[in-house]
């Protein structure tokens, strides 16, 4: 995990796991009030159920979203916008959006065990990724975290098996007792909140995919409507994605040439994708439920504002779509 070309938190950058650990401790201390349960796995890791057997809720989801951002993000609820149907808005901002969103919140580590219908698959997000560093993204970010514990968020319906826990512990070079997994099913209230709270993260991820220099992104904020949870996975996944694709907004503050800022505003919105225009659940079904057939450029907010700190100019791209949002949300 050591690399002479990589800066770790001891070199002046914050430890996302250290920052998140304080928030995690509060989540555990207030578990009963937040309707989440805490227990140890048979391998010794801490498991926090925020929606599988436990009820969870909006506040649990809000706190989990902040933990997922490595303690570098603020997540808040706000009154809904009448033009978007009045749905409660989730607002996210971070003074270090690249590290908070891509170095912590992004679900970039694929964890798989077993075969067939019994196989376990999860995309791990959260600050623990920066300790394991199993993704090439961390080489680009030039970041490695060093901390005595690691926390991950899994959007799953089942607890991770022993084999997954042991693999994560090995890759983090930590005992399993120092690993925490927060479990948030897509169909749960907490899961819905923590997914929609990725509105800024998907903007950062697409900016990276478009080749925009991440070092030019100074600050950022985003918001998206909170959808009604759906009792089944497909529609729950569809609504949480559509909340961002049709109703999400992101503002990026950059220090770049105006031409680069203007191009980013034009190409970043979800509407620039060939797959834009249908509810996400329908797109997923049309591609025979193969997530990897979907145009990766679809995953972005509906609209974006790029503000150039060097010149004072701002560039807008995309637009929210209240009609398609209402269709997806079933109202």
Q: What digits encode the pLDDT tens for the residues 178-216?
A: 999 999 999 999 999 999 999 999 999 999 999 999 999
**In contact, 116 and 154? CB cutoff 8 Å:** no
**pLDDT tens profile 130-172:** 999 999 999 999 999 999 999 999 999 999 999 999 999 999 9
Q: What is residue 2's predicted lDDT score, i.e. its pLDDT? A: 40
276 phi/psi in degrees, rounded to 5: -70, 145
Q: How far is CA 18 from CA 25, 67, 165, 244, 251, in A?
A: 11, 10, 20, 29, 27
Instruction: Report d(CA 265, CA 267) in Å as an integer.
Output: 6
Long-range Cβ contact pairs of 113-119 (< 8 A, separation 24 or more)? 113/161, 113/163, 113/164, 113/167, 114/161, 114/163
- DSSP letters, 194-233, are HHHTTHHHHHHHHHHHTT--GGGEEEEEEEEE-PPP-SSH
Single pTM value for the model: 0.95
Label residues 209-245 b or e (16+ Cβ within 10 Å = b): eeebeeebbbbbbbbbbbbebbeeebbbbbbbbbbbb
Instruction: Report d(CA 150, CA 55) in Å as an integer.
Output: 24
**In contact, 220 and 85? CB cutoff 8 Å:** no
User: Where does residue 162 fall: left (phi above 0), alpha (psi -120 to 50 degrees), or beta otherwise?
Assistant: alpha
Q: What is residue 320's predicted lDDT score, i.e. its pLDDT? A: 97
Q: What is residue 190's predicted lDDT score, i.e. its pLDDT? A: 98
Strands 143-144 and 7-8, how do they pair? parallel
Instruction: Report d(CA 143, CA 258) in Å as an integer.
Output: 28
Token pair in block for residue 177 = 């007792």
Instruction: Report d(CA 93, CA 192) in Å as an integer.
Output: 18
Residue 140 CB neighbours (<10 A): 12
Instruction: Report d(CA 160, CA 239) in Å as an integer.
Output: 25
Instruction: Report d(CA 205, CA 201) in Å as an integer.
Output: 6
Q: What is residue 229's predicted lDDT score, i.e. its pLDDT? A: 87
Q: What is residue 280's predicted lDDT score, i.e. its pLDDT? A: 96
Q: What is residue 8's predicted lDDT score, i.e. its pLDDT? A: 58
Higher pLDDT pick, 106 / 330: 106
Average pLDDT over residues 212-236: 96
**pLDDT tens profile 258-315:** 999 999 999 999 999 999 999 999 999 999 999 889 999 999 999 999 999 999 999 9
**In contact, 315 and 306? CB cutoff 8 Å:** yes
Q: What is residue 9's predicted lDDT score, i.e. its pLDDT? A: 58
**Percent of the chain, pLDDT > 70?**
97
**In contact, 259 and 313? CB cutoff 8 Å:** no
Q: What is residue 291's predicted lDDT score, i.e. its pLDDT? A: 86
Instruction: Report d(CA 64, CA 69) in Å as an integer.
Output: 9
């Amino acid at each position: 995990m050591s690399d002479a070309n990589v800066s770790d938190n001891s070199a002046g950058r914050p430890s996302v796991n250290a920052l998140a650990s304080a928030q995690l401790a509060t989540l555990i201390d207030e578990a009963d009030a937040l309707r989440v349960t805490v227990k140890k796995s048979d391998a010794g890791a801490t498991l926090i159920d925020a929606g599988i057997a436990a009820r969870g809720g909006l506040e649990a989801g809000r706190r989990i979203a902040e933990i997922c951002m490595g303690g570098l993000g603020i997540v808040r609820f706000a009154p809904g916008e009448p033009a978007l149907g009045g749905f409660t808005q989730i607002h996210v901002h971070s003074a270090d959006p690249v590290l908070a969103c891509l170095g912590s919140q992004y679900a970039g580590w694929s964890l798989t065990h077993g075969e067939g219908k019994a196989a376990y698959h999860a995309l791990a997000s959260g600050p623990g990724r920066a300790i394991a560093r199993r993704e090439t993204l961390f080489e680009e970010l030039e970041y490695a975290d060093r901390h005595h514990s690691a926390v991950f968020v899994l959007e799953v319906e089942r607890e991770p098996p022993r084999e997954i826990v042991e693999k994560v512990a090995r890759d983090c070079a930590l005992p399993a007792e120092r690993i925490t997994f927060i479990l948030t099913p897509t169909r749960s209230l907490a899961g819905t909140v923590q997914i929609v709270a990725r509105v800024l993260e998907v903007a950062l991820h697409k900016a990276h995919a478009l080749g925009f220099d991440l070092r030019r992104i100074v600050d950022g904020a985003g918001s998206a409507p909170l959808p009604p949870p759906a009792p089944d996975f497909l529609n729950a996944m569809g609504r949480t994605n559509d909340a961002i694709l049709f109703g999400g907004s992101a503002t990026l503050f950059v220090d770049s040439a105006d031409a680069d800022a203007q191009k980013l505003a034009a190409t970043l919105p979800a509407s620039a994708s060939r797959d834009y225009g249908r509810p996400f659940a329908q797109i997923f079904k049309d591609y025979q439920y193969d997530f990897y057939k979907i145009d990766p450029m679809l995953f972005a907010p509906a609209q974006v504002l790029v503000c150039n700190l060097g010149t004072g100019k701002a560039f807008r791209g995309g637009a929210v779509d209240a009609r398609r949002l209402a269709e997806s949300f079933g109202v």
